Copies of this chain bind each other. A is one copy, B any other.
Amino acid sequence: MKRGIVLEYINGGVCAAKGFKAYGLHCGIRKNQNKKDLMMIVADNDCVSAAVYTQNLVCGAPITVTKKHLANGIARAVICNSGIANTCSADGIEKAEAMCSLAAAAAGCSAEDVIVASTGVIGVPVPLEPIKAAMDELKAGLSYDGGTSAAEAIMTTDTVSKQCAVRFKIGENICTVGGMCKGSGMINPNMATMLCFLSTDVNIDASSLDAALHEAVKNTFNMVYIDGDTSTNDMAEIMASGLAGNDKITAKSAGYGEFLAALKAVLLELAKMMAKDGEGATKLIECRVSGAPDEESARKISRSVVSSSLVKTAMFGADANWGRVMCALGYCGAKVDINKVKINFISDAGSINVCQNGAGVDFDEDIAKQILLRDEIIIDIKLYQGEADAVAYGCDLTYDYVKINGDYRS
């Protein structure tokens, strides 16, 4: 957090900021009637809007349509289904456009001002009928505290819904930024690495909003690694209603720093929730690298460590096999002197040094085990070769990851 900026974490998510209603329900795209599969977010007024998208060459039809609709930086509503990704199917674009038309009718806006997203199985056509049939109920359900039902409706293999909101001040104006996201497999940058829908009531210009979103994503969502698969449908978007009444933020104005700090805080919380709820995960793994010669090296190393299947399985087994950490550091491509490396494992049960000057040190395996049995583990790597640092977030690799993904479609 930037010094002098006070951030207050509050309850709620995408409806925490002024001017946003949401609702989520089960419309029937999924067989399981207890699983919501459709949601909308509707703003009271046209919003300045920005988004970041998957870098996957194979990208879902909703991504293509949303890019087009956001070209003017204005949005009024979001519609999103889970269960089917609307990707790699012949009439995907028409269906995504049709979803926008349905949402526009419910929101009372133009289809061009609707953001559309889908998440789920690739290659299966998304059925429009259940969506059409549910629109009246969806519209009727929209409310200023509907964020939770909406967050539930975008879950796929997530085990918990993920929301976060932060309140802060710009001058005398109380502002809020909040949102929801879903993970939890296919999480790997580069770029927006899942679905994330954000809202804020700050008054801000389009280019500043875009710049802030890109900046905030860099050290949050783009540092989360679950399984190395970059999804076809990932997107993070934000709508700004302006209802907080602050003087309009531009990149050079005073309020930009406050807004960016708040946005980063929300994204970091969501990123960590996502990592911790990675498919089958039992624990959050945070790899902190400091003393790197440059930021890119620090990022490479931290990402490589949290991505390593061997590190991830060792963490699952609470096994202090730090050699695998060294190994992942060694193959990541960062040019560092491995003979200076220091590694500690840290959790709320304590901290233990396992490697010094690139070589193993005697350590108490029982203490290491106690530390690694906790559900939030920090792998702390000090390089002593500069001032740069980075943090990456991931999770352990477990039997349940295999179980969840061995037959996802059934």
Chain A 224-240 interface 0/1 with B at a Cβ cutoff of 8 Å (1 = within) = 00011111100000000
Interface string of A44-59 (1 = CB under 8 A from B): 0000000000011111
Give, as a whole number of angstroms, the nearest-CB distance from A91 to chain B. 9
Q: Which positions 187-216 of chain A face chain B at CB distance < 8 Å?
A: 188
Q: What is the CB-to-nearest-CB distance from A319 to chain B, in angstroms, rounded to a whole number?
A: 5
Asked if B309 contacts A405 (CB within 8 A), the reply is: yes
Given contacts A229-B308, A307-B228, contact A402 B406 (CB under 8 A): no
Interface segment, A96-104, A106-114, A393-401? Answer: A393-401
Give A83 Cβ to nearest chain B Cβ, in Å: 13
Chain B residue contacts of A57, Cβ below 8 A? 329-331, 334-336, 338
> What is the bound-complex CA distance between A310 and B314, given in angstroms?
20
Q: How far is the CA of A313 from the CA of B398 in the complex (A)?
A: 12
A359 contact from B89, B355, B406, Cβ within 8 A? B89
Residue of B nearest to A233 (CB): B327
State A409–B321 Cα separation when bound (angstroms): 7
A28 at the interface (CB under 8 A from B): no
* Chain B residues with CB under 8 A of A125: 360
Cβ-defined contact, A330 with B90, below 8 A? no
Q: Which of B319, B327, B410 contacts A231 (CB 8 A)?
A: B327
- Report yes or no: A186 in contact with B310, Cβ–Cβ below 8 A: yes
Interface size on A, residues (CB 8 A): 65
CB of A284, distance to nearest CB on chain B (Å): 17
| Protomer copies | 2
Contact A232 B58 (CB under 8 A): no
B406 and A327 form a contact (CB under 8 A):
no
Say whether, besides A229-B331, A308-B229, A88 and B58 are in contact (CB < 8 Å). Answer: no
- The residues of B that contact A397 with a CB separation of less than 8 Å are 402, 405
Stretch from A116-124, A172-180, A244-252, A259-267 at the B interface: A116-124
A401 to B403, CA, bound (A): 12
Query: Which of B123, B319, B358, B360 sits near A323, CB closer than 8 Å?
Result: B123
Check B309–A228 contact: CB distance below 8 A.
yes
Give chain B residues whose Cβ lies under 8 Å from the Cβ of A334. 57
Partner of A124, one of B56, B87, B327, B360: B360
Residues of B contacting A188 in the complex (Cβ-Cβ under 8 angstroms): 331
Q: Which residues of B contact A56 (CB under 8 A)?
A: 327, 330-331
> Cβ of A355 and Cβ of B88 under 8 Å apart?
yes
Is A15 part of the binding interface, using a Cβ–Cβ cutoff of 8 Å?
no
Contact partners of A183 in chain B: CB under 8 A: none
Task: Report the bound CA distance from A409 to B323 in whole Å.
Answer: 11
Q: A57-B329, A330-B59, A358-B88 are in contact. Are A229 and B405 (CB under 8 A)?
A: no
B360 touches A326 (CB 8 A): no
Option from B316, B323, B328, B358 in Cβ contact (under 8 Å) with A121? B323
* CB-contact partner of A401 in B354, B402, B404, under 8 A: B402
In the assembled complex, the CB of A331 is this many whole angstroms from the nearest CB of chain B, namely 4
Beta-carbon contacts under 8 Å, A380-404 to B: 397-399, 401-404
Kindly state the separation between the CA atoms of A28 and B318 in the bound complex, as whole angstroms.
26
